[in-house]
Structure 1
Amino acid sequence: MSFYLIQERRGEELQTESAAGLPPGGAGHGSAAPFPPPRIPFSPPTGATRRTLGIRRLSPPPVAERVTQFTLTHVCELLERCSSMTELKQIQAQMIRAGLAFDPPAADRLVSVCALQGFGSLLHARLMLSMVPNPTSFACNSIVRAYTNNNLPQEALLFYAEMIDSVLQGSWEGEQLHCHVVKLGFGYDSYVQNTLINMYSDCGSLSSAIRAFDRMVGRNTVSWATMIGAYTKWNRPVEALELYRRMDLEPNRVTLLNVLSACSRARDLESGRRVHKHISAKNLKVDLVLATALLDMYCKCGCLPLARQLFDAMPNRNQYSWNVIINGHIEHSSYEEALLLFREMQLSGIPADEVTLASLLLACSHLGALELGKWLHACIRREKVQIDVVLGTALVDMYAKCGCAEIALQVFRELPCRDVMTWTAVIGGLAMCGRGEEALELFAEMQSQGIRPDAPRGLLDEASSYFRSMSSVYSIQPSVEHYGCMVDLYGRAGRVDRAEELVNTMPMEPDYFVLGSLLGSCRIHGNVKMAERTVRRILKIYPDDARAYWEELERTRELMTERSIRKPPGCTMVEVNGVVHEFSMGDGSHPHTA
């Protein structure tokens, strides 16, 4: 959650601020005129601007329903005779009715008249421009000319920069724009510099964004927020948090949102708690966006009790908030609680989307709840939810793990698009169901379609090369999950010494799964001394987790006795009539216990 758009209304002004680093409402500019119009991000190809401005884009009616008498010729004639904003808005209404408001030729002329005529409104012209899917240079030139006519040269240049930034295909074009800005004497303008940092980040050149930030003379809060957001966007949360600690200004709301996103990616609970304390100490308003960012941080860091407490205290919840809390419980194996939360979500009237359904199908896979999985599949069809790769893979995986290989194969064949994870799910499902020959045939089919298998066994050196290239070639900071995969690969290959060395050099604290993988490798290969070191480390980080105590070590058994910690009993789950029943060892409380 590294990009946010927040809307505020102050009197007649409408100001927008973004986590990408654009200052709100054009702060820091406007000295050229007493009341410069507020800046509106130029992003016609997307719907972000329309959502930010609180307006709804009207889809043009079908061609058969358009008013045939109202053509482009009539539009031009009416605009030539137009003499007031009232008349202009009447013409705009007729264009919407006729389906011409979104056609560039007609819309461009409407924008031009609104921007350049004396009775027009430059702000209204910018709003209309943001509604046009593919505006031509004619309309954009009209906006630039209007800014110039109103003695707003800085606004004209910034609109030009935003216009170029919206169509950049790579950092080379961005560098040309940077040279242009410096040549015109705006190289030290804080707003321009912040926009350049964001532009380089969006174009995939994080190193250029870092250089632009390092060379800034007067950094403001937006500068820090933009650079922290760039680090987070490119999956380098550790550097983002280090930059936040170096920040010598009071962080604003957008900065805190980006920092919480970095804490989520780095699984840094301690830093996340400090941010939460800062919000409370400064008595900052915790709205839905900020509350959801805190919720996501606690879920990703494995602190479900605090996440649930925060979620229950939220006065308003949206679909994203429900998805975060449901997925958080599923990631930490609280499948039944996730299903109960989904029930609450239904009762609250919030519809499920593909993210919700994919998470719930994963819970069904782990619980073996076939009937519930079938109900979710029927819900997808009934609500006409678009099945993307993630949702399709979740369906295939659910049916395969519930023993319905034939349905899994049918769903797989019906998917419009498939990736390597989809192939892996269906091949693994067939193998688990004893249909090995079909699994091999599908594997051959996958190779014939040019899809490479993921993490092939026996290619440890290649996997190590890919891991190293993440930071050296692609400037991507490996996460704790990447380290966990490498530790598991080294352990399976018998190189437990290299696995322990990798754990000791991790830039972040290893979680239970990384250390558990190392401990499992020690058990398989009989390395008792390394196992003892790993157990002590697990006990230090997770002193109350019974899984951390290795039964084979007498010393560990004594520690468990001293601390009154018992190993959780084994359990099994059975689905009957859509209800999942859990039976635990030694527990006779269930009514169906024999």
Structure 2
Amino acid sequence: MEIFLVFVALSLLWQLHWWRHSVIAMPSIKVPRNYHVPFLFKPKVIPGSIEDPIKLLKKAADTKNLRLGKTVHAHLIISSETSKFLDIFHANSLINLYAKCDRITTARHLFEYMPKRNVVSWTALMAGYLHKGLALEVLGLFKTMVSVDNLCPNEFVFATVLSSCSGSGRVEEGKQCHGYVLKSGLLSYQYVKNALVHMYSSCSEVEAAMRVLNTVPGDDILSYNSVVNGLLEHGHVKEAMDILDMMIGQCKAWDNVTYITIFGVCAHLKDLILGLQVHSQLLKTDIDCDVFLSSAMIDMYGKCGKVLNALKVFDGLQTQNIVSWTAIMAAYFQNGYFEEALGLLSQMEFEDILPNEYTFAVLLNSCAGLSALRHGDLLHASVEKSGFKDHAIVGNALVNMYSKCGNIQAANDVFLDMTSRDAVTWNAMISGFSHHGLGKEALNVFQDMLEAGERPNNITFVGVLSACAHLGLVQEGFYYLNQLMKQIGIEPGLEHHTCIVGLLSRAGQLDQAEKYMRTMPVKWDIVAWRSLLNACHVHKSYGLGKRVAEVVVQMDPNDVGTYTLLSNMYAKAKRWDRVVQIRKLMREKNIKKEPGVSWVEIRNTTHIFVSDDNIHPESSQIHEKVGELLAKIKLLGYVPDIAAVLHDVEDEQKEDYLSYHSEKLAIAYALMKTPTEAPIRVIKNLRICDDCHAAVKLISKVTNRLIIVRDANRFHQFQDGKCSCADYW
């Protein structure tokens, strides 16, 4: 501990030096010459020497000005007598400072070193852990406070502990805290009641929340706001709407929080009409439309698909803070404007507004939408520097970003390094492994999830069933669907039954898959039928494929993918007359096949390639490189799959068509421009063709490179002549 204190004190002294010589330093400060290094000393008070340190520390904490706080801390250290500790008031102020400035480890060291602590000391540290989302630390401190230090909690402690239970879904601990509240007689404090209502609502204990709510006066708007928010956070929309009806009937007036809550309801329901009505009603009141209320409107319009409305509200703000900036970023992200969302970061930083954990989450998920790995890496570095990496929402976004950008190992590294995980974390990792064809790893994570006591949800089982499909685990898949899901209390939905169709199809049980779809009382969508159609193509079951294609075309007469897949099957069967019929039908319906496009990011530039591309400034060198690669893999047995060419032309011409598909061009260029040990990541807008799949497997072998291709269906990791999809996609 002494070494730690010396280190901290010395690190703070340079802050004092800066403060003494800064143009903004206070002229009344007097700095003693006898520097001492103890960390928690009682300061020698020199009247008029410095503004009240406690006031300065409060100001630093409220504004999160860590530099100012460290400067005051340094002053307290060097103006102290070595034999005396800081008094409890200064120590508490320092704990509050470091906790609010996201330096919880430093705050904890200060706390542990205090010779005597009071309720304020415990509350400040608990609040710091609550801010970081570390619920178990808050609950542990609370238990130690009442059982070891024998201190009586006050209303602030209870509000903090109950908020921690709300955020982590720990209703049993929340009930115990409720008992403490009743014994202590602190239920009369309104914000304790509100915290109880919110805790029960957040933990899906609707009846308990209503019992507490019924003890509140009818005109108390805060409790109503709290219970509605809690219900909405956990999907109890009907109950939330019932409470809103009560608010209309009983409450005298709505406040800002009420309008924020109602806009939240509109956002959750994506009810634009209701949102417009509420906005209109708000304009008729004298309520000040502050930045938080405006941010709620921005969020509502964003979730309702009205980005221009959201932008109009944002631009109308006189002052914009991190909440409003994050809200408009989220509005862009939710509507697929990923580049626009990322572009707002530089504008925000130009206004000297720093991102918080929610901002980083939106930005990282935008990178995931673009598969912009380099931008994601840069944001990850900023997260580390900013101290937000331990926030679950940021960790979840990092796992999602790396998974969708093709770096599943980095996603797993982030996952393993996370200090706290929720269901979203586990789902992101399970789905990430499944999407990359790593079914065994996905099921291992699922087992770890169960052992950790985290309750799976419907999204979890989509990833699990997808993993079973990749591994061909038919019996296990049906066990998860028919037994485990029901044991947990999850009713299988369309997406789970679609996974079963994929499972049977991948296992080659196409007749069973069709029977499953024809007999199950499920309203199938086009995704499930298309999954079976794709299996018919892979397993060359053209008779069934024709029947399935007819169903898909009936559901979507303009689905270009179905016509293309059906044409592919006829071409492989050398039924050129049927290929001609399909193409004629497509012309009559004015359906055009989307051209194959691939792109690869090298350094700061994204290079886009179209099949048989001659536009790229280095196209001649790229074509030469493709020829070189094809010559090498032919020595390993590569034979161009000319059956994949949908034209009735000579075989030599068919081979030329295949040679310069967009993914081959992108891979060749990446091999030319990247270090020999670097993985290559290519994104393609369509399903990778059979010939390119076979070729890239061998290219990965002759070049000894990891080549990752993200096509319209999944990720393919090519390495040493093999693909993670096991040749099924």
TM over 0.5: yes
Cα distance change of structure 1 residues 159 and 316 upon mapping to structure 2, 3 Å threshold: closer
Cα distance change of structure 1 residues 10 and 252 upon mapping to structure 2, 3 Å threshold: farther
1:384-437 CA distances to partner (integer Å, 9 max, x unpaired)? 253322221221122112121232223223152311111122344356556544
Is the CA contact (8 Å cut-off) linking 1:295 and 1:310 kept in structure 2?
yes
**SS across alignment from 2:500:** helix
After TM superposition, the structure 1 = structure 2 runs for residues 45-124 of structure 1, keeping only pairs within 5 Å, are 114-116=216-218, 123-124=222-223
Is the CA contact (8 Å cut-off) linking 1:116 and 1:142 kept in structure 2?
no
Match of residue 479 from structure 2: 378
1:240 is aligned to 2:341:
yes
Is the CA contact (8 Å cut-off) linking 1:546 and 1:565 kept in structure 2?
yes
Match of residue 494 from structure 2: 389
| Larger RCO: 1 or 2 (CA < 8 Å, sep 6+) | 1
Q: TM-score, normalised by structure 1?
A: 0.59
CA distance in 2, matches of 1:450, 1:463: 12
Greater Cα offset, 136-145 or 299-308: 136-145
1:204 is aligned to 2:305:
yes
CA distance in 1, matches of 2:332, 2:679: 37
Cα distance change of structure 1 residues 325 and 127 upon mapping to structure 2, 3 Å threshold: closer
Unaligned runs of 5+ residues in structure 2 are 1-121, 132-155, 160-164, 173-186, 232-238, 565-582, 601-607, 620-643, 646-653, 683-690, 693-697, 707-717
CA distance in 2, matches of 1:466, 1:430: 22
Is the CA contact (8 Å cut-off) linking 1:257 and 1:290 kept in structure 2?
yes
Is the CA contact (8 Å cut-off) linking 2:508 and 2:539 kept in structure 1?
yes
1:297-329 CA distances to partner (integer Å, 9 max, x unpaired)? 222222233222222223343443233223323
1:426 is aligned to 2:532:
yes
Is the CA contact (8 Å cut-off) linking 2:536 and 2:544 kept in structure 1?
yes
Q: TM-score, normalised by structure 2?
A: 0.50
Cα distance change of structure 1 residues 559 and 543 upon mapping to structure 2, 3 Å threshold: farther
Match of residue 247 from structure 2: 140
1:189-244 CA distances to partner (integer Å, 9 max, x unpaired)? 32232222122112221111112222322111111110111111112111110011
Is the CA contact (8 Å cut-off) linking 2:221 and 2:255 kept in structure 1?
no
2:388 to 284, 294, 301: 284
1:540-586 CA distances to partner (integer Å, 9 max, x unpaired)? 565447989999xxxxx99999x87699554699xxxxxx9x9xxxx
Match of residue 409 from structure 2: 305
Match of residue 332 from structure 1: 436
CA distance in 2, matches of 1:535, 1:523: 18
CA distance in 2, matches of 1:559, 1:160: 57
1:538 is aligned to 2:682:
no
CA distance in 2, matches of 1:410, 1:283: 54
TM-fit CA distance, 1:291: 1.8
2:319 to 194, 213, 218: 218
Match of residue 227 from structure 1: 328
Match of residue 510 from structure 1: none
TM-fit CA distance, 1:448: 5.3
Match of residue 271 from structure 1: 375
TM-fit CA distance, 1:465: 10
Whichever residue aligns with residue 537 of structure 1, its letter is: Y
Cα distance change of structure 1 residues 529 and 201 upon mapping to structure 2, 3 Å threshold: closer
Cα distance change of structure 1 residues 166 and 479 upon mapping to structure 2, 3 Å threshold: farther
1:191 is aligned to 2:292:
yes
TM-fit CA distance, 1:116: 3.8
CA distance in 2, matches of 1:479, 1:357: 32
Match of residue 148 from structure 2: none
2:657 to 501, 515, 525: 525
CA distance in 1, matches of 2:384, 2:494: 40
TM-fit CA distance, 1:175: 4.1
Greater Cα offset, 536-545 or 243-252: 536-545
Cα distance change of structure 1 residues 444 and 187 upon mapping to structure 2, 3 Å threshold: same
Is the CA contact (8 Å cut-off) linking 2:510 and 2:535 kept in structure 1?
yes
After TM superposition, the structure 1 = structure 2 runs for residues 487-526 of structure 1, keeping only pairs within 5 Å, are 491=611, 496-497=612-613, 524-525=656-657
Whichever residue aligns with residue 251 of structure 1, its letter is: P
CA distance in 1, matches of 2:670, 2:557: 39
CA distance in 2, matches of 1:527, 1:433: 25
TM-fit CA distance, 1:346: 4.9
CA distance in 1, matches of 2:541, 2:362: 48
1:88-140 CA distances to partner (integer Å, 9 max, x unpaired)? x9xx99xx9xxxx979xxx79x96873347xxx65445445666454266621
CA distance in 2, matches of 1:185, 1:311: 48
Whichever residue aligns with residue 258 of structure 1, its letter is: V
Is the CA contact (8 Å cut-off) linking 1:399 and 1:405 kept in structure 2?
yes
Is the CA contact (8 Å cut-off) linking 1:396 and 1:408 kept in structure 2?
yes
Match of residue 181 from structure 2: none
Cα distance change of structure 1 residues 547 and 365 upon mapping to structure 2, 3 Å threshold: farther
Whichever residue aligns with residue 162 of structure 1, its letter is: T
1:162 is aligned to 2:255:
no
Whichever residue aligns with residue 279 of structure 1, its letter is: V
CA distance in 2, matches of 1:141, 1:277: 48
Whichever residue aligns with residue 483 of structure 2, its letter is: R
CA distance in 1, matches of 2:294, 2:343: 21
Match of residue 46 from structure 1: none
Match of residue 409 from structure 1: 514
Cα distance change of structure 1 residues 445 and 166 upon mapping to structure 2, 3 Å threshold: same
Cα distance change of structure 1 residues 526 and 211 upon mapping to structure 2, 3 Å threshold: same
Cα distance change of structure 1 residues 304 and 246 upon mapping to structure 2, 3 Å threshold: same
Is the CA contact (8 Å cut-off) linking 1:190 and 1:218 kept in structure 2?
yes
Is the CA contact (8 Å cut-off) linking 1:266 and 1:480 kept in structure 2?
no
CA distance in 2, matches of 1:13, 1:139: 33
Is the CA contact (8 Å cut-off) linking 1:115 and 1:122 kept in structure 2?
no
Match of residue 504 from structure 2: 399
CA distance in 1, matches of 2:555, 2:169: 45
Q: Pick the structure with greater CA Rg.
A: 2
Whichever residue aligns with residue 394 of structure 1, its letter is: C
Cα distance change of structure 1 residues 170 and 264 upon mapping to structure 2, 3 Å threshold: same
CA distance in 1, matches of 2:557, 2:402: 36
Q: CA RMSD in A?
A: 5.5
Cα distance change of structure 1 residues 301 and 382 upon mapping to structure 2, 3 Å threshold: same
Cα distance change of structure 1 residues 427 and 260 upon mapping to structure 2, 3 Å threshold: closer
Is the CA contact (8 Å cut-off) linking 2:256 and 2:287 kept in structure 1?
no
